[in-house]
Amino acid sequence: MQAHQSISRRVWLQQSAVGMTAALAMKPTSLLRGDEKAADLQAGKLIVRQEKPFNAEPPLPALLDHWLTDNETFFHRSHGSVPAVDVENYRLTVEGLVDRPLSLSLAELKSMFPTVTATATITCAGNRRREFPPEKKIGGVQWDAGAIGNAEWGGVALAEVLKHAGVKPEAKHVWFDGLDEITEKDHTFSFGASIPLEKALSASRFTPGALLAHTMNRQPLPKDHGAPLRGIVPGYIGARSVKWLGKITISDRPSPNHYVADVYKLVTKGTPEEVEATSPIYTHALNSVSCRWKLDSTKTCLTVSGFALPSGQVDGLIQRVECSLDDGRTWTTARLISPQREFCWAFWDVTFPASAVGKSLLVKATDSHGEIQPREMPYNLKGYQYNGWHQVSLNV
């Protein structure tokens, strides 16, 4: 216990030092220069935000290398250590308000239900946390904007498994429990999440409402990303996509797990009353970020590129991405240059005369549900869902 505390204290100190420098430098301009970040990535590096548990994000330019993020480039976000799962004896259990509780091996899961794939962007609710004003001293992993990635997930539709188990009429929520163990204040528990049953049973044109995934970009799901099986909930914050999934429980209420009942809520004071009265975050917010910029060979044009993510509602697409070099007085519309798909990010670029070098650039997006990014995101205690206009200084 003693050892554990001193390690986490050291990590915390390191982290807050990093957080401070970053936060001070973030406003009004970003620390992140496109070329430095690309060099980092060539060395095969993720930016480690925390060693234990391992939390890391790619440099921003690397996000744009492929619309489907390489598994090696995909951010890692874990609240505890990666559990050692004995795949031979692994069972997924389904219990609670069902007619037939299930206990399924991986082989059974794969053979009993059709294989489906879904392309979905997963973003951590804490992505861009360090852009909240530094005086608010928001704790937690100090993410820049790289805690996001897009992948083709393969597995079975959760709805099929639930149909097989037979969901009782009073059921309203689906709980997920991971096989990892998290210790906080002498209390050990698993990571958990829940989603409304309606989302679990829904299906859109491209994807089931939720997936039990065992592949990521057509490769076996990597250990760090939840092998042998994880939930994937397109359109929802990453915290609802439970890795190392061990148990599904059908209930008439949301999960009592810490990560549903106490955190991942937009609260400002955090009193028990406020937390209790606030519903859990489900869908992720509309967002956009500029990730790299480059002068052309004749040094007459500067091209800026980035990603934009529609809010996680069904059928959401990015409608418009706009950039401003004059603090939001005038805006230039960017081109959308990638596939556009529900629950997925889109890439964009915009070209300015070279005189843009040295200026500060703002970006904001609008989606097909009419959501528009706010200039600033109102404060919340845990620093979730930052989606204020992203600002960088264009230094080359």
Ligand X SMILES: Nc1nc2c(c(=O)[nH]1)N[C@H]1C(S)=C(S)[C@@H](COP(=O)(O)O)O[C@H]1N2
> Which residues contact ligand X (rule: CB under 6 A)?
74-79, 122, 124, 178, 180, 191, 225, 238-239, 241-244
CB of 164 to ligand X, least distance (A): 23
CB of 333 to Mo ion, least distance (A): 31
Would you call 164 exposed, middle or buried from its count of C-beta atoms within 10 A (0-12, 13-18, 19+)? middle
Nearest to 30 by CA among 391, 357, 327, 389: 391
Which one of Mo ion, ligand X, none is in contact with 180 (Cβ closer than 5 to 8 A by kind)?
ligand X
Contacting Mo ion (CB under 5 A), which of 77, 199, 214, 382?
77
Tell me how far apart the alpha carbons of residues 101 and 371 are, in angstroms, rounded to a whole number: 41
Pick between residue 225 and residue 364 the one whose CB is nearest to ligand X.
225
Q: Which residue has the tokens 């393969």?
A: 154
Q: Is 79 in the site for Mo ion (CB under 5 A)?
A: no
Pick between residue 193 and residue 318 the one whose CB is nearest to ligand X.
193
Q: Is 382 in the site for Mo ion (CB under 5 A)?
A: no
Contacting Mo ion (CB under 5 A), which of 159, 212, 239, 325?
239
# of chain residues touching Mo ion (CB under 5 A)? 4
Q: Stretches 118-126, 170-178, 219-227, 354-362: which one binds Mo ion (CB under 5 A)?
A: 118-126
Could you tell me whether strands 245-251 and 92-96 are parallel, antiparallel, or unpaired per DSSP bridges? Answer: parallel
CB of 177 to ligand X, least distance (A): 8
**Cα–Cα distance list, 349 to 1, 153, 364 (Å):** 50, 27, 13
Nearest to 294 by CA among 333, 351, 338, 332: 351
Half-sphere exposure of 231 (CA within 13 A, CB side): 32
Q: Is 162 in the site for Mo ion (CB under 5 A)?
A: no
Q: Is 124 in the site for Mo ion (CB under 5 A)?
A: yes
Q: Is 232 in the site for Mo ion (CB under 5 A)?
A: no
Nearest to 1 by CA among 186, 182, 181: 186
In the complex, the residues that contact Mo ion under the rule CB under 5 A are 77, 124, 238-239
